[in-house]
Amino acid sequence: MHEPASATNVGDVNQRVSSEVRAWLGRRQLTQRALAQQLGISATSLSFRMKGKTPWSIAELVAVSSWLQISLAQLLGDELVNEKNPQPVAEGSSFSVAGGGFEPPTSGL
C-alpha cells in the first residue's frame, strides 16, 4: 500500500501515474512511441515522464485517457483517485497555522 500523496512525495505520485500509463499501454497493446506522437512530444520527453523525472500535466493525462478511451479515474487508478490530501487535522488538536505573535493587536471593539 502506498503512502498518501503529499508535497513531500510528489515524485512517488508521478511514478504511480507512470505505472498506470504503462499498464494501460500494455492492455491496449500500444507503444510509448505512439503515445509520444499522440501527445506531440519527443520519445525522450515521454521517457522522462514514464521514469517519473518530469511530472505529467493535467492536459497530458486528459489526452492520454482520451486516446486510450478510458476515464481519467481509470488511468490514475482507484488508490490515487481516492486519496485524501492533505489529511484533515482532528478537532481540538493544538495545531495552529501561524505561531504565536502573528495576530495583529485588536482594539477590542
User: Can you list the domains of the chain with their CATH numbers?
Assistant: 9-79 (1.10.260.40)
Residue 109 has pLDDT above 60, yes or no: yes
Q: What's the chain's length in residues?
A: 109
Q: Is the link from the previous residue into 86 a cis peptide, with omega within 30 of 0?
A: yes
pLDDT in tens, 40-70: 999 999 999 999 889 999 999 999 999 999 9
User: What confidence tier does 7 reach under pLDDT thresholds 50, 70, 90?
Assistant: very low
pTM to 2 decimal places: 0.65
Q: Which residue has the cell 508535497?
A: 7
Burial class (CB in 10 A: 0-12, 13-18, 19+), 64: buried
Give residues with Cβ within 8 angstroms of 89, minimum separation 6: 95
For residues 28 and 7, the model is more confident at: 28
Per the structure block, which three cell numbers stand in for 36?
Answer: 509520444
Q: What is the largest CA-CA distance in the chain?
A: 69
